[in-house]
Amino acid sequence: MMRQYELVERVTKYDPDADEALLNRAYVYAMKAHGHQTRASGDPYFSHPLEVAAILTDLKLDDATIAVALLHDVVEDTEATHHEIEEMFGSEISGLVEGLTKIKRLDLVTKEAAQAENLRKLLLAVSKDVRVLLVKLADRLHNMRTLEHMRPDKRLRIAQETLDIYAPLAGRMGMQTVRDEMEDISFKVINPEAHETISARLARLREDSGDILLEIEKALGEQLEKHNIAATVTGREKRPYSIWRKMERKHLTLGQLSDIFGFRLIVDTTDECYRALGIAHKTWRVVPGRFKDYISNPKQNDYRSIHTTVVGPHHMRVELQIRTAAMHDVAERGIAAHGIYKDASSLESAVNGVRLPHIESSAYRWLRQMVDTLAEGDNPKEFLEHTKLELFHDQVFCFTPKGDLVALPKGANAIDFAYAVHTDVGNSCVGCRVNGRHAPLMSELENGDEVEVIRSKAQVPPAAWEGLAKTGKARAAIRRSTRLAVRRQYAGLGKEIVERLLSHHNQKYNKKEFAKALRRLGLKKVEDGLAAIGRGEVQSGDILKALGVEPGAEEKVSTAAKLVRRFRRKKKNPTKNPIAIRGGDNRLPMTISEATGAVPGERIVGILTKGEGVTVYPIFSRQLQSHEEDTDNWLDLTWDMDAVDEAQFYPARIKVLIHNEIGALAQVTQLIGELGANIENLQMVTRARDFYDIDILLGVHDLKHLTTIMSGLEDKPLVSKVIRATG
């Protein structure tokens, strides 16, 4: 167990101005408070907070955070009180200990709603002071290191919890070393056979490639030295869980991976990063598609580096990571390297002895944005889903037409892009151009895409967009807009009800008088009151009493109830058009293109053909290109989502690439049936030795239904690709 003077020496080594008296007091107080308590391993309990403090010294945290690490369990597990902590150590440290105590009892692996609610509490607690999160992550890391002393069931639960929440959270904070260790320990517990197999294979590769790796390291150093670049070149090995995850995601074997072994080149300046890149590319052949510049476009966790892969000596593929010492410090320690826990008005952080002006961490900005999402009233289950999306996805970098950079999770589409620019841009979005060409809003964006959002003031985001959006921000905004639209609709109906009620008694609606009357009904805002009346939650007699009007005896049936029923009948069948589309002439026959299909919720266009009527196409249909010059016959159509019959099927054509194996087609047709869709036509288009294409015309209820089916098909092991037919 680390001695008192050893801990103080570790802190003062990187922070000579640290408060040694504070560290000594915290050490002695925590040791006495925990007394003879022991852990499941039989070790003294005090060894745990001491190891947590040691982990944080590796991250070079300030003296207050180290003291909190020593004290983080005393209120929860001993007779110490917050009042006593505040008297001895001050309000700052007491507040941090209290924040950790509040989340000490979190049990994230429970039912999904409870798990989400606890995650809310965790993020709310750490957003007030990020040091709470740093101590919590160090606490979890040490618990993972001693996991073998737990019962098997508890061990599995904690490992899964760590893999689901804590490891991705550490990654989002840029703390890659912490994340890697958490993931590997969790992987070893959850899937011991796979971990053992990959570890054994890595050991053999290490033994077989040892001399070659040393030779590559030497060759890299010599090439850089020849061009007067002082660099530290170190080899690195991919972690077992990282290998497993990549094999699963890309369906690769271990032998197909090209970046099991890689090298880091640490240079002095950003300029030398690009010079080193040029030298590497001139010396060895570049592997196409393997270059990423995270210096020009940093990740959201502040990670900056250049990645490239070359074919090095002995025709071995070698991944290179090129960065400066300051970039490497942030890559290893993440948010801890920024020193954002200090006073922002006078903050300077030190990296390798160089004082740097404070710049707010992007990782911490992300954390605060997640907390802002909490305030928007999403239910806990949805919040958990969106937070996991934000935690797990890699990034793509896209640009506005003005050149502004927008970072999005991998798999995001133009809807997510529009909402990332601004909520108003997303709400008014009706279409987009990607790299100058019209594209469907649900098109998956790629790195470097330039996206132009086409807007309309009359647009209201369809509810079906929620199922298409990938980011929590977009989904929350779409739900909020949908709720407001419904509320406005009911408020309009409520106003009509009140006006008719008053007209029966020869009176007129007055907003000010109605606002006063609302208080008697227990309602505050006029909009809320009218919406409640529109929903039928307030009876006509109560409305009249609140307004000081006596209802007549003939009003045996609530006028409000009659109007609500009339409105609902009207809403159910507002148009004679059986396809429930607005914007066309109801006297003209309207059909949906068989080449692509079109479903409620997606952007559509009509083409008028004399003698035939109107043909409806989705905006991404290639057939629209043949009508580009004939704009007089274009009709701007929209789905009437209120009139869409939920039981009706709409055509959508998809193309599915499946493995040429027994049972592949059965997987496709079975899933479509299970998800409640009809197969109206199925045709085999091309067949190869390993794969074949099938063209399927589906009957689905709406865009969300179609998206669910396509996502489900993509998850099937024998399905390689699923796309919409573009005609």
Q: Give exposure, 529-556, as e/b (b: 16+ Cβ within 10 Å).
A: bbbbbbebebebbebbebbebebeeeee
Helix (H) or strand (E) holding 234, with range, is strand 232-237
Q: How far apart are CA 650 and CA 669, in angstroms?
A: 18
Residue 77 among the catalytic residues:
yes
Q: How far apart are CA 171 and CA 222, in angstroms?
A: 34
- The two structure tokens encoding residue 147: 């996991």
For the four alpha carbons of 704, 705, 708 and 709, in that order, the dihedral sign comes to negative
Contact of 433 with 451, CB cutoff 8 Å? yes
DSSP 557: S
Contact of 38 with 44, CB cutoff 8 Å? yes
Count other C-beta atoms under 10 Å from residue 292's C-beta.
17
- The two structure tokens encoding residue 220: 């890299």
User: How do beta strands 590-592 and 613-618 pair?
Assistant: parallel
* Whole-Å CA distances, 528 to 510, 515, 521, 558, 560: 16, 10, 11, 20, 16
- The two structure tokens encoding residue 604: 């559509």
Helix (H) or strand (E) holding 453, with range, is strand 451-455
Q: How far apart are CA 713 and CA 671, in angstroms?
A: 7
**Number of Cα atoms under 13 Å in the Cβ half of residue 72:** 32
User: How do beta strands 306-311 and 292-293 pair?
Assistant: antiparallel
Q: How far apart are CA 366 and CA 372, in angstroms?
A: 10
Greatest extent of the chain over all pairs of C-alpha atoms, in Å:
102
Residues with Cβ within 8 Å of 298's Cβ and at least 6 positions away in sequence, in order, are: 304, 362
| Identified catalytic residue from 77, 217, 237, 527 | 77
Contact of 584 with 609, CB cutoff 8 Å? no
Q: How far apart are CA 61 and CA 67, in angstroms?
A: 10
* Phi, psi for residue 349 in degrees, rounded to 5: -110, 145
Helix (H) or strand (E) holding 233, with range, is strand 232-237
* Whole-Å CA distances, 535 to 555, 565, 683: 19, 10, 48
* Whole-Å CA distances, 673 to 491, 680, 700, 708, 713: 40, 12, 11, 13, 12
Residue 528 among the catalytic residues:
no
| Identified catalytic residue from 6, 76, 248, 555 | 76
Q: Hey, which residues are catalytic here?
A: 76-77
